[in-house]
Amino acid sequence: MQKTIIVGAGIAGIATSIRLAVKGYEVHVYEGNSYPGGKLTSIEKGDFRFDAGPSLFTLPKLVTELFDLCGEASDKHFSYIRKDIICNYFWNDGFRYSMPSSVNEITKSISQNFNINESEILKYLNRSQRKYELTNSIFIEKSLHKLSTYFSFDTLKAFLQSYKLDLFKSLHSTNRKSFKNEKLTQLFDRFATYNGSSPYKTSGILSMIPYLEMGLGTYFPKGGMKSITNSLYELALRQGVNFHFNQMVDEIIIKENKTKGVRIQNNNIASDLVISNMDIFSTYHKLLPYLTHPNRILNQERSSSALIFYWGIKGVHPELDLHNILFSSDYKGEFDYIFEKKDIHQDPTVYINISSKCNTSDAPEGCENWFVMINTPGDIGQDWDTLIATAKQNVIDKISSVLKIDLASIILEESILDPRLIASRTQSHQGSLYGTSSNNRYSAFYRHPNFSTKIENLYFVGGSVHPGGGIPLCLNSAKIVSNLI
């Protein structure tokens, strides 16, 4: 039985451990924190519970298939509901829009609210689906760094229809061509933030992302997003995976261009394989400092980070749902601040997630738990204390104005997560949420591969390597790595 060490118990590390345990590997996962899940964890403040990180759940089959792989019925350990409302959108001028969950309802409601023909929105959504179907098996489910990926029928089909992918247009220009209404363009531009990028720079191929929400649906796991981590962690334990918490790996041991294990403090722990679920930048700089680093990859622009206010709120607000977005009136300016000025715009787009809308135990009766997030640059040494204080006031003022409430007076509890804390808790360089940004049209090919081209039996998994960040891509990353092994 080959022994495998996985560095980091993020969701990709847990999923990889399950897949390898099923194949008969002896798997040990070493995690510096006292808990599994990485960013996919939760916090409690007073009588309120908050999902601390990722809050959008799509493609539940990527979770349930892990139970299938282990011969277990997923619904006995993990369950979820499909949301009737995808998201509520708000603009500063008072305009509001609530997006339903089915394509037929979406086309009708967008037509009615944004003065566009149903045929035009349906055409856009069909193109979104086609882009997803053409590229999913190549860019997401397989390694882009193996020649075998390019010698397949799917690759040939995608190549012959590449003119449909809008690879060389920005997402914004793709959306602007499709929609004359500025608010509708902004609504579809926001999908660039799903991998921490700017819609004015990232490729139009990202217009496939709406299909995940509008075509395949958005869901809520019973018990909250943390239940994804909990259920998979428990599944891994049942498969015999060994977890070691509060065990920060200091070095990946390499001898004769082959992995030999890891060093934790002064102890060398031998293994046949090593898989790093740590951010790829931190993996090289902290665990492999003596190797020649792939600086072209490591020095790419990082994705956006986040400033999150976890607020326990007095009162119930029926105009809000699970997912809510309050748009900036200067969307381009907001992204210029993030990626060019490395600063926070005075009118940021605000995302509010309220899991107590679906999981009532997350807040006391008559209250709600608000996860309030704005996109920010990564930590490069800014005066964060000043930035946070200013941003907090701007966010409170914006929400109060848009929702016609006195927000400051109803905040009962507060906890704050900023890029510095994200970096220290998750080892994500500069606190980036998705590793590198996708502001370069070739970014998919510039992501670090899931394996080392120089060191035998060394692999990489998670949001900072191929295929990218977010729960679905991290779970696909685990699948790619286990298949490579």
Q: Do 346 and 410 have their domain in common?
A: yes
Number of domains observed in the structure of the chain: 3
Q: Which residues are registered as beta bridge partners of 429? A: none
Q: If residue 309 lies in a helix (H) or strand (E), which one and from where to where?
A: strand 305-314
**Same domain, yes or no: 97 and 172:** no
Between CA 368 and CA 324 the distance in angstroms is 14
The verdict on 75 and 175 lying in the same domain is no
Rounded CA gap, 375 and 437, in Å? 13
Q: Cα angle vertex 76, ends 72, 81, to 5°? A: 120
In a domain, residue 227? The reply is no
pLDDT of residue 163: 46
* pLDDT value of residue 152: 55
Tokens of 234: 């428990």
Task: Report the 3 state secondary structure along 63-116.
Answer: HHHHHHHCCCCHHHCCCEEECCEEEEEECCCCCEEEEECCHHHHHHHHHHHHCC
Same domain, residue pair 376 and 462? no
> Mean pLDDT for each consecutive 10-residue tract of the chain (485 residues)?
95 98 98 96 97 96 98 97 97 98 95 96 94 77 57 50 67 95 98 95 92 95 97 98 98 97 96 98 96 91 97 98 98 98 98 98 98 98 98 98 98 98 95 91 76 96 93 96 95
Q: Are 125 and 150 part of one and the same domain?
A: yes
The Cα–Cα gap between 42 and 159 comes to 42
**Is there a cis peptide before residue 221, judged by omega within 30 degrees of 0?**
no
Give a yes or no: residue 363 inside a domain: yes
Q: What is the pTM of this model?
A: 0.94
Structural domain of residue 286, as residue ranges? Answer: 3-34+245-300+442-484
Helices (H), 166-320: 171-178, 182-189, 209-210, 226-238, 280-282, 295-298
In a domain, 228, yes or no: no
Domain final position from 206, 234, 253: 206
Residues 397, 424, single domain; the answer is: yes
239 belongs to a structural domain: no
* Residue among 60, 59, 61, 71 nearest 21 (CA): 71
CA atoms in the 13 A half-sphere facing the CB of 144: 19
* Residue 408 domain-assigned (yes or no): yes
CB of 370 closer than 8 Å to CB of 410:
no
Specify whether 78 is located in the same domain as 59. yes
Read off the amino acid at residue 394. N
Predicted confidence at residue 33, as pLDDT, reads: 96
Q: Is residue 370 part of a domain?
A: yes
Q: 308 and 428 share a domain?
A: yes
The 3-state DSSP class for residue 413 equals strand
What pLDDT does residue 150 have? 45
Do 114 and 166 lie in one domain? The reply is yes
Is 388 inside a domain boundary? yes
pLDDT of residue 361: 97
Please give the biggest Cα pair distance in the chain: 67
Nearest-CA neighbor of 259 among 249, 247, 246? 249
Cβ atoms of 259 and 457 closer than 8 Å: yes
What is the predicted pLDDT for the residue at 160?
Answer: 47
CA distances to 112, 159, 205, 374, 375 from 210, in Å: 19, 22, 11, 20, 19
* pLDDT score, position 446: 75
Q: What CATH number does residue 286 fall under?
A: 3.50.50.60
The helix, strand and coil proportions of the chain, stated in percent and rounded to the nearest 5, come to 40, 20, 35
- The alpha carbon dihedral of 340, 341, 345, 350 has a sign of positive
- For the segment 50-103, what is each residue's pLDDT rounded down to a tens digit? 999 999 999 999 999 999 999 999 999 999 999 999 999 999 999 999 999 999
On whether both 323 and 404 belong to a single domain, the answer is yes
Of 175, 206, 237, the residue at which a domain comes to its end is: 206
Same domain for 394 and 281?
no
Q: For the domain that residue 359 is a member of, what is the CATH number?
A: 3.90.660
Final residue of a domain: which of 433, 451, 472?
Answer: 433
Report pLDDT digits (tens) over 394-443: 999 999 999 999 999 999 999 999 999 999 999 999 999 999 998 887 66
Instruction: Please check whether residues 93 and 118 belong to one and the same domain.
Output: no
Other C-beta atoms closer than 10 Å to the C-beta of 397 total: 14
Residue 442, number of CB atoms within 10 A of its CB: 10
Q: Kindly state whether residue 234 falls inside one of the protein's structural domains.
A: no
